[in-house]
Amino acid sequence: MANKETHTFETPFVTESGATIPQPTIAWQSWGELNQGRDNVVLVCHALTGNTSADEWFGGLFGNGNVLDPDKHFIICPNVLGSCYGTTGPISKNPATGQPYRANFPEVTIRDMVRLQQQLLNELDITGIKKVIGGSMGGMQSLEWCLMDDRPQSAVLMGMGKHHRPWAIGISHTQRQAIYNDPDWDGGFYSEDQQPKEGLALARMIAMNSYRSPSDFDAKFSRRKHDGNQQFEVESYLSYQGKKLVDRFDAVSYVRLTQAMDSHDISRGRPNYKTVTQQLDIPITIVGIDSDMLYPPAECRELAELLPQARYKELQSPHGHDAFLIEFDQLNEILQSSKPKLSSRTTN
């Protein structure tokens, strides 16, 4: 059973851009128990519109003998800074005004997300992390965790690379433009009862086209019409996905989190990629997806080649980028067969 909690820090949080967030709150869920050394931890980092319920969207990785085993590990999944699922973000009240931040919430980076998560794990007195795991934006956080903290002993990074390429930035930009052009956007200061729903729904539809693959759409929909009307089934599917996101997510959060993904570049403010990655002396499994158009396999292989103790594995799937949330049988086989060398890092 999951344990759901939140923690509010009394010390202000300063973003990489220099913006101050007073009294930030972070939400998380956990499964299992901490051992005496407080180092039997598996840290799960979620993707763009994900939440702390890793047992729901990563359910196929939970269970006895799997990578997420509550009988052996203390599994923790924090919600990212800027989201709308309990951690401080655009829908949170600004203590200075008593009103939601909305567009006044500052741009944040993947590293900002990790720094707030570090504060949480420090608060919990966690001394070691057996594994950090994530896909897409979660993989970006996981990689930065390995670079920014000595506690991770191993990592699993899925469907991402060493930086956000222009292709992915362009798709993110297009989604944000859909939101900005909604008449109800109002510069990001919309009211609770008049949100830019059409723009957010369109942004999600654009994203869904990049999350799946042509062969996946062929198999699912062919050229069939929906319920005998003039709308293609694929059109109905995309409209449904857009509406479903609108019912659970916030437009400014979507903007801020896609901007954070665009900030992903492990060489930013650091030496070149080779110098940065050579410091990672821990075993890392990089998982690519053969049908991923958003983060193609070559991107994942490139990252694996840069890391001293990395191994590259590839999911065979028609499902595109979303395969890391679908192909759990393959993932469990890949991760259970992992026999990496021990890290030279020592637990604090």
Q: Which residues are catalytic?
A: 136, 292, 321
Q: Among candidates 147, 86, 179, which has minimal Cα distance to 307?
A: 147
20-21 and 41-45 beta bridge pairing? unpaired
What does residue 320 show for φ and ψ, rounded to 5 degrees? 70, -155
Q: How far apart are CA 28 and CA 75, in angstroms?
A: 10
Cα–Cα dist 162/144, whole Å = 10
DSSP state of 115: H
How many residues in total does the chain contain?
Answer: 348
Phi-psi region of 129 (alpha: psi -120 to 50; beta: other; left: phi over 0): beta
Retrieve residue 251's tokens: 């437009």
- φ/ψ (deg, to 5) at 68: -110, 90
Give the 3-state secondary structure of 11-30: CCEECCCCCEECCCEEEEEE
Q: Which two tokens stand for residue 115?
A: 């720094």
Angle 203-299-111 from CA coordinates, rounded to 5°: 65
Q: Give Cα separations from 111 to 16, 29, 67 (angstroms).
A: 8, 21, 25
Paired strand residues for 31: 75
Q: What angle do CA 102, 26, 60 make, to 5 degrees?
A: 105
* C-alpha angle 235-240-241 in degrees, rounded to nearest 5: 100
